[in-house]
Amino acid sequence: MKKSSILTTCIFLTLSMVARGWTQSPEQRGEKPVPSLRADTLSADTTRVYHLDEVVITPTRNGTDISRVGRSVTLIDSPEMNDFPNGSFAELLGRHEGLYIVGAGQNPGMVQSIFLRGASTSQTIVMVDEVRIGDPSGVNNALDLSEVFLGGTDRIELTRGSHSTMYGSSAIGGTINIFTLEKANPGIHSGLEFGLGTSGSGSLSSTQKMTASYTAHNGLYAHLGIDHATSRGLDATIDATTAGAVAPFRDKDDFARVGVFGKLGFSDERIGSYLSFRYNDQRADLDKGAFVDDDNYTLRYSRNLFTYGARYRLRDDLMIKYLGGYSAMRRFARDDSSRVVGSGTFDHTYYEGTWNGNTFTNELQVNLNRVDVSAVLGGGMYNETMGSHSFFYSAGSFGAYEFRTNLDTLGLGSTTINIFSHADIRGSLLNRSLSGLSLGAGSRVTHHDRFGTYVTYEINPSVEFDEGSIVYFSCSTGFNAPSLYQLYTPEKNYFSGIARGNSFLKPETSTSWELGAKYSLNDHTGFTVSLFHTDLDDVIENVYLWDGGITIDELGADPKRDDFRGDMYLNVGTQSTNGLEITFQSRLWENLRLGGNMSLIGGKLNYVPSELDPAQTRGNHVQLFSNGAFLDGEVETIGLVRRPNTVNLNLTYLISTSMNLRLDMRYVGPRDDIYYNPSLGPYGALATQPVDTYTLLDLSQGFTFDDNLRFQARIENLFNTRYAEIRGFTTRGRGLYLSSRLKL
């Protein structure tokens, strides 16, 4: 079926459903509206597979019972977050299927990169209150998860698989939606939380959190909190000094963060509005790279994020909703002259760089929510800008050298305008005997001011054969727009004049399908299975260009001749990914619960020279920086780096109503990591090296006293296993963490 016909059908269905909502009331049809989600209605029993009152927003942008969603969805609620004190956002996500986050087990402040269902780090959206946050100043616009703190969070909704129809660019691997606190029970509420831990000799980490909230009887509410965290005494890089070599000077890499959140809002049955603010400021010590320490390299990062929204309920089943957000982030890195050997020798260099990025989001949508039909029709605008400048100084034996870059004056930015629609129709609309059938369909038209208009769609039929048990299928398309850096960075080769940025880049596009089942035996026992496949076209790669008039074998052979013609970004490959995910939960005995998940992932990359645009390469040889191969013929790479198979298991023993003991196991399978290999071609390129599997055990115990005071203790990496997430960087050893939480 052509995309245009699918788009027309989806929009027609949505408009028809919305029109019907204006003319008929729920009472006329004998229906009841789907209940809205409130922060104080979530069940505290995290051992249940599905809850009838667990409503998620992200999959359809409508309040939908999670047991009826025909997609792979995880709801991380407040009880689960509270049971994981001292843990980071990345560590919390890493407990769930389909996710591998590089950096989650390393030093706090290290870059944390997400790989969801085999997608790259730039192909998963992270949102706060349905507003996308990212790093527009970065090379690929990917968010570093280390900046996300959990303060002020009510729940997290994780939807796997392509979701560009609902949320636009980058939602190829999936979406992670952080919802902030909403209206609570009337009155004044406050809380204090303290945590202390160690992950090895001389290391110390601490957390302090303070929260205060007020909810009036008329629906007015306010939240305010501070989240402070520090870590000291850990060394981020591995000491690879060989016996007999001069030992380099090594230092410990510290981290400190202050997070502030606030929200002011009003909510009743008909209208609602809110303004939310999140501020994050953190400082981390950095190193040169894998195996290379640095004692004077620091990174300061800050972000101001505002989200806001309003809703007006025209009728019980029909609502108009507006949401938006503004984000301003800044990174400042400084590397002063660093000691390179223990005797006190310095490298006599200085570097500093500043990166700024801003995003602005505004959307308006109409929601229809009935028992038999739910639909959304909306549209909006997304704008992003970036700037950066840097300075490098070296005092070498041949004199001083300075180099400066400045992108601030270029006014780099892009604007995206979109319109989207989605409808979910249950079979009972036609006949009550078909109530178990459901069909979801949606489409989005996106206009990007650089690459033009792109259409995405999704089709999602499902069959519910018992309460909480369904079989579903989804087919969807997605896209990932090139970053501002990839489009516009102006660095040029002195000989050819070819710039690294390529304004002719097309978006990466995907087609995905998923077949899954959710089965619930009872409130405490059930499982989910999902099988998926994704094809990604027009993969953006950084490539080297070499003089096309010289054979590949002769490149770089003459030291008096410069064969290099620059590097640039090109749409040059395709990626194919397959995977299987399984989860289960079961109550073995009255006080013993077992749960877990497994993720299997595999894939390959293909590069075909005929797909290259000679107008962009200018007849030069093309060499992939990602693996060093020249595209003089078809190139196939089996396997995806940093995407391992994973298994998570947890066993919880309820000692009493106020005390529990939990054992967590995490297995990470073999995978490849990348490193720079100078022997690949004249200038070198990236090569791969296998990284060993590892298995970690964590033991935790919680004790609740009088519902207002809770103590928790956790031993992380119980057997002090030595392991690596990526090549050349350390991970935390055995750690002991203590925390207390007091409600006032």
Q: What average pLDDT score do residues 359-383 get?
A: 96
Is a pLDDT exceeding 80 seen at residue 262?
yes
C-beta separation of 329 from 354 below 8 A = no
- Residue 401: exposed, middle, or buried by beta-carbon count in 10 A (0-12, 13-18, 19+)? exposed
Percent of the chain with pLDDT over 90: 73
By the 10 Å C-beta count (0-12 exposed, 13-18 middle, 19+ buried), 346 is classed as middle
Residue 662 belongs to domain spanning: 3-743
What pLDDT, on a 0 to 100 scale, did the predictor assign at position 488? 93
List pLDDT tens digits, range 344-368.
677 889 999 999 999 999 999 999 9
Strands 174-180 and 124-128: parallel
Per-residue pLDDT at 44? 35
Number of H helices and E strands in the chain, helices first, is 7, 36
| Comparison of pLDDT for 23 and 572, the residue scoring more | 572
Lowest average pLDDT, out of 86-100, 243-257, 465-479, 543-557, goes to: 243-257
Region 403-421: mean pLDDT is 94
**If DSSP states are collapsed to H, E and C, what string results for 206-270?**
EEEEEEEEEECCCCEEEEEEEEEEEEECCCCECCCCCCCCCCCCCCCCCEEEEEEEEEEEEECCC
Geometric angle at alpha carbon 133, from 130 and 136, rounded to 5°? 145
Give the pLDDT of residue 575.
96
pLDDT above 70: residue 617:
yes
Average pLDDT over residues 594-599: 97
How many domains are there within the chain?
1
Average of per-residue pLDDT values in the chain: 88
pLDDT value of position 523: 77
**Please, are residues 161 and 98 in contact by the beta-carbon 8 Å criterion?**
no
Tell me the mean pLDDT in the region 245-274.
88
Answer whether residue 67 shows pLDDT above 60: yes
Query: What is the pLDDT, as a whole number, of residue 53?
Result: 55
Q: Is 342 exposed, middle or buried (0-12, 13-18, 19+ CB in 10 A)?
A: exposed
Please list the residues that pair with 452 across neighbouring strands: 448
Question: pLDDT > 70: what percent of the chain?
Answer: 91
Would you state the pLDDT for residue 342? 61
Separation of alpha carbons 263 and 244, rounded Å: 59
pLDDT of residue 629: 93
* Greater model confidence, 35 or 211: 211
Using left for φ > 0, alpha for ψ between -120 and 50, and beta otherwise, residue 452 falls in: left
CATH number at residue 276: 2.40.170.20
Residue 108 binned pLDDT confidence (cut-offs 50, 70, 90): confident
State the pLDDT at residue 341.
66
In the block, residue with structure tokens 């018992």: 466
Tell me, what's the pLDDT at 4?
Answer: 42
Query: What span, in angstroms and rounded, lies between the C-alpha atoms of 570 and 567?
Result: 10
Q: What is the pLDDT of residue 275?
A: 98
Encode 75-138 in three state secondary structure: EECHHHHHCCCCCCHHHHHCCCCCEEEECCCCCCCCCCEEEECCCCCCCEEEEECCEEECCCCC
Q: Within 10 Å of residue 682's Cβ, how many Cβ atoms?
A: 15
